Structures are given as structure tokens and as C-alpha cells.
């Protein structure tokens, strides 16, 4: 079984920063791509940023220059540094991982989500 657990969410003022972490654990053989998504109230889940196991990154246009995704492969952990946050970025943030478990099965696993609120 594989688990992804997010941490680091909370309340921040507009213009502030949050750093999210997501640690994968369990019967993992290898992790390929990892990513962060968000879902605001009444909206569909959207990709925020992704990173390959080689470190190549991609970002939603709306966050380029403000957010940075990174990962520590030794710790099976992905991070999202979010700067200059805006109230409209209040959302539940989810991490995911494209991985192979020890049986060789390939799957995409998701975390449970963590709230990030941007408000004065």
C-alpha cells in the first residue's frame, strides 16, 4: 500500500508565502512524475506544477515566477514553495505521484489534500 501525506498548509495573508510538503511511503519501488494540483470552491481541480524524477518542471501559467516545485528523491518527497499568494489561490492542494509499487504495478496515487487559505 502506498500513502501520500501533505503538510504545510494554513492561513496566510495576501502576498505571503506557504511551503507545502508531500511525503510518499509504503510499498514503493520507484516514483516517476510528481505533481501538485489544487481545487478551489466550486471549481475543477487544476494542475499547479509538476516535476519529473530527473528534475524537469512545468507550471501553470498563473503561478510561473511565484511558485517553485522541487523534490528529494531520497526521501520520496515533493515540495511546493508558494510566494506572493493571492486570495483567489485559496484552495485544497493535492499532491500526486506516478509510481511503481514493489509488485511492479504502475499507478497514480493521491494525497488527501491540505487547505491553503489566503486572506487578510
pLDDT in tens, 86-100: 999 999 999 999 999
DSSP 87: G
pLDDT (0 to 100) of residue 88: 97
Give the pLDDT score at 33.
98
Q: Tell me how far apart the alpha carbons of residues 98 and 28 are, in angstroms, rounded to a whole number.
A: 11
- What is the rounded distance in angstroms from the CA atom of residue 31 to the CA atom of residue 117? 29
Q: What is the structure's pLDDT at 97?
A: 98
Neighbours of 104 (CB within 10 A): 8
Tens digit of each residue's pLDDT (9 = 90 or more) over 44-94: 999 999 999 999 999 999 999 999 999 999 999 999 999 999 999 999 999
In whole angstroms, give the CA distance from residue 45 to residue 120. Answer: 24
Amino acid at each position: 500500500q502506498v500513502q501520500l501525506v501533505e503538510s504545510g498548509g494554513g492561513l496566510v495573508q495576501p502576498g505571503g508565502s506557504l511551503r507545502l510538503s508531500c511525503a510518499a511511503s509504503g510499498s514503493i519501488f520507484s516514483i516517476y512524475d510528481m505533481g501538485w494540483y489544487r481545487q478551489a470552491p466550486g471549481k475543477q481541480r487544476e494542475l499547479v506544477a509538476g516535476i519529473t524524477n530527473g528534475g524537469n518542471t512545468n507550471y501553470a501559467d498563473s503561478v510561473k515566477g511565484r511558485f517553485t516545485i522541487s523534490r528529494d528523491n531520497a526521501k520520496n518527497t515533493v515540495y511546493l514553495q508558494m510566494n506572493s499568494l493571492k486570495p483567489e489561490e485559496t484552495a485544497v492542494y493535492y499532491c500526486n505521484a506516478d509510481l511503481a509499487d514493489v509488485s511492479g504495478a504502475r499507478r497514480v496515487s493521491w494525497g488527501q489534500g491540505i487547505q491553503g487559505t489566503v486572506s487578510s
